[in-house]
Chain A
Amino acid sequence: MGRRLIRLLGAYLVLVLSAVPAVTAADKIKLGYIATMSGPAASLGQDILDGVKLGITHAGNTLGGLPVEVIVGDDQLKPDVGVQVATKMLEKDKVDFITGVVFSNVMMAIAQPISEAGVFLISANAGPSPLAGAGCLPNLFTVSWQNDQTHEAMGKYLQDKGVKRLYLMAPNYQAGKDALAGVKRYFQGEIVGEIYTAINQPDYAAELTQLRAAKPEAVFAFYPGGMGINFVKQYAQMGLKTEIPFYAPAFTVDHTILPAQGEAALGILNASFWSPDLPNPVNHQFVADFQKTYGRIPSLYAAQGYDAARLIDSAVRAVRGNLQDKNALRAALRKAEFASVRGPFKFNHNHFPIQNFYICQAIKTADGAFTHALQSVAFTDHADAYHAQCPMQWP
């Protein structure tokens, strides 16, 4: 009888004691992942997710020491669907963080509701200018870049190289216009042509014929995803590659589409914040383990996903798993004390990164794989052009 009582008491004590830390630290962390997971753009969403998962694995299958539940939602590249998925994650799943988000139009729709719900949104891709400027949000952290930055890097490179006559092409939507605006912010020479094509246009024969007739000194074109495959293949097939040098942001020749572009992409100089051969130990480990796990070279999208997971990990670790204290979490996120695959990383006061940008070249390795090789540095510690309009200030 007495023994049983002691046992009961013991069990009670264990329960009470184990419940005490739960008051401050959560027992697990729920991570919502919203991205385009279906349709032609699904490979980008998949690459970011694979990067996030590897980041979690490298943090000991946790985020900040807490076991993780990842909830994946597909925005179908539609802002209204993105809002539905976000609402479900906020109200039903009660997630602690949301990450992912490939497209800027989806980001514009979901950023404010998520931030207002007191949940942290870590963008692993989209960085539209309004959210970097006057519309910056206290709970939005963009771990990738501001949309214009990569294109600014190529504009600067072309300017420094002494190119005088440049021809510009991009799809006719916000990111395309941002891209060409980014180039023009740093390129001072003559713009011989500025052509916008319909989004997801498959064939560029007519535009490339006009381009050839304009005889520019160089071409800059922003065509992400499947459009990039079509454009780069057709540019090479028309014999233009040997005639007019082609420059691009990394999104036009990234690792999700390089194998489908093949030889057509070889030699193309492109701008990026990251490259698989960026010499730092974190990146080395990331690229090696990604290839081991998924059997392909990671793209910049995967690198962004990886950094998003490591950023969350660092912040949760800093607050010792107390997910309720949002102010402490925000302060920890701002410090960005994680080892980024890009080496130095810090947040500007608008929660967008200040980082280096590089010029890379598309190459084929000795074993026949297509990848990028670092060529030169375009910018060191480059901040975006909109941060001055963001009223948010912190030391």
Chain B
Amino acid sequence: MPVDPILLLVQGMNGLQLGIMLFLMAAGLTLVFGIMNLINLAHGSLYMMGAYLAATGQRWTGSFVLGVLLALPLTVALGMLLERVALRTLYHRDHLDQVLATFGLMLFFNEFVRLLWGPQAYFMAVPPALSGQIMLLPGVPYSAYRLAVVGVGLLAAVCLCVAVQYTRLGMWIRAGASNRAMIDALGVNITRLYTIVFGCGAGLAGLAGMMAGPILALQVGMGEPVLILAFVVIVIGGIGSIRGAFIAALLVGVIDTFGRVLLPPALASMTIYLLMALVLYWRPQGLFPATV
């Protein structure tokens, strides 16, 4: 096919946007897995809960921004509650127990949403101010909302990096990831730290769901396909590494987008898994493994 630079630009933007969404999902997952050593299959449920809560908030208040501002603390609180009630008992169990327990949570949340919001898909509107098109170049329209998603995602990435690298909390988090017993002995309340980390992860997953809400169908089980992609991202990026998750997410977003455009469908749906297999072959620890 002839290479059209404008088409390349727009598809690049699509890839970037997909990558940013994946990063929001993967960041929480990699934090929880890297620092707390917990495999959390219910991460996709938090994505779903974030989307449903924001859609409900939007319906009540009539404003997308208010809906998100209402839903974000609720999702963080839900994550913290989940950590205290259910996940805290799983840290010392092996990974299979964690997978089973969090898989159970996933089923629980799916049925919970079905009971509360019904089996039919729920509607979330694009905020009117962002419903139009923005010209990337003259004659090259791009959805304003998708650009806004890129902006929010980049902002979240920057905040996260600053928080982990330059704040006291971030220092504890990094220390906790390296040596849990030592930081406990130094008088940091590691139990509370874990609750906070899990809440942050939940908030990031919820934010991803809220941003995806106006683009996608809000329905029971909407988190599971994204969860699988997020796992691919953290495996490629190196488990526990925020920087790795960011780069891997963009890589997966761009490769998946161009794969879908350039390759036949059967091969296109395989590209990112092939990428993962290659990375695992050359660098089993991922591209940017967290320094432990």
Q: Which residues of A contact B (CB under 8 A)?
A: 39-40, 42-43, 46, 172, 195-198, 200, 202-203, 205-207, 209-210, 213, 226-227, 229-230, 233-234, 237-239, 256-257, 259-262
The secondary-structure label for the interface of chain A is helix
B111-136 CB contact bits vs A (8 Å, 1 = yes)? 00010000111110110000111000
Q: Are A172 and B260 in touch, CB under 8 angstroms?
A: no
A83–chain B nearest beta-carbon distance, Å:
23
Partner among B123, B126, B131, B219 whose Cβ is within 8 Å of the Cβ of A226: B219
A-B contact pairs, 13 of them (CB 8 A): A42-B119, A42-B220, A198-B268, A202-B216, A203-B18, A206-B261, A210-B261, A229-B121, A230-B215, A233-B216, A239-B132, A260-B123, A260-B217
Closest to A198 in B: B269
- Categorize the interface residue count of chain B: 35 or more
Chain B residues with Cβ below 8 Å from A210 are 7, 261
User: Which of A200, A209, A256 is in CB contact (< 8 Å) with B7?
Assistant: A209
Q: Which single member of A46, A213, A239, A262 contacts B125 (CB below 8 Å)?
A: A262
Contacts of B266 in A (CB 8 A): 172
Contact with A46, one of B17, B119, B257, B269 (Cβ below 8 angstroms): B119
Q: How far is the CB of B192 from chain A (nearest CB, A)?
A: 36
Residue B11 contacts which of A198, A206, A233, A238 (CB distance < 8 angstroms)?
A206
Q: Give min CB distance, A362 to chain B, whole Å.
A: 14
A197 to B257, CA, bound (A): 12
Q: Which of B73-81, B139-147, B176-184, B284-292 contacts A (4 or more CB under 8 A)?
A: B139-147
With A237-B126, A239-B143 given, is the CB distance from A203 to B215 under 8 Å?
A: yes
Please measure, in the bound complex, the distance between the C-alpha atom of A110 and the C-alpha atom of B54, giving whole angstroms. Answer: 41
CA distance A73 to B126 in the complex (A): 38
Check A40–B120 contact: CB distance below 8 A.
no
- The answer to whether B225 touches A202 (Cβ under 8 A) is yes
- Given A213-B4, A262-B125: A237 and B119 interface contact (C-beta under 8 Å): no
> Which residue of the partner chain B has the closest CB to A208?
B14
What is the CB-to-nearest-CB distance from B14 to chain A, in angstroms, rounded to a whole number? Answer: 4
CB–CB B120/A202 < 8 A: no
Least CB distance, A371 to chain B, in whole angstroms = 15
* B274 on interface, CB distance cutoff 8 Å: no
A202–B215 CA distance with the chains assembled, in angstroms = 9
Specify which chain B residues have a CB less than 8 angstroms from the CB of A259 in the assembled complex: 120-121, 123
- B265-277 CB mask vs A (1 if < 8 Å, else 0) is 1101100000000
Bound Cα distance A195, B261 (Å): 10
Q: Is B25 an interface residue (CB 8 A)?
A: no
| Contact present for B260 and A206 (CB under 8 Å) | yes
Q: Indicate if the CB atoms of A230 and B217 lie closer than 8 Å.
A: yes
Answer whether A205 and B220 are a contact pair too, CB < 8 Å, given A43-B120, A237-B145.
no
- Minimum distance in angstroms from A202 CB to a CB of chain B: 5
Lowest 8 A-B CB distances belong to which pairs?
A229-B217, A260-B121, A205-B14, A198-B269, A226-B217, A43-B120, A206-B257, A196-B265
Q: Which residues of A contact B14 (CB under 8 A)?
A: 205-206, 209
Beta-carbon nearest neighbor of A237 in chain B: B143
CB interface residues, B 203-244, toward A, < 8 Å: 212, 214-222, 225-226
B215 touches A237 (CB 8 A): yes
16 further A-B pairs in the complex, CB-CB below 8 A; given A202-B226, A230-B216, A239-B133: A40-B222, A42-B114, A195-B265, A205-B146, A205-B257, A206-B260, A209-B10, A213-B7, A226-B121, A229-B121, A230-B215, A233-B214, A257-B120, A260-B123, A260-B217, A260-B219
A238 near B120 with CB under 8 A, answer: no
Chain A residues with Cβ under 8 A from B260's Cβ? 197, 206-207
Measured between beta carbons, the chain A residues less than 8 angstroms from B212 are: 202
Measured CB to CB, the closest approach of chain B to A78, in angstroms, equals 14
Give the distance in Å from the alpha carbon of A238 to the alpha carbon of B119 in the complex: 28
A215 to chain B, nearest CB (A): 12
Among A46, A203, A229, A238, the one with the most B-chain Cβ atoms within 10 Å of its Cβ is A203
Pick the most buried of B15, B222, B260, B268: most chain A CB atoms within 10 A of its CB.
B260
A43 and B119 form a contact (CB under 8 A):
yes
Cα-based distance from A354 to B141 in the complex (angstroms): 46
Distance in angstroms from B211 CB to nearest chain A CB is 12
Complex Cα gap A39–B132 (Å) = 33
A239 to B143, CA, bound (A): 8
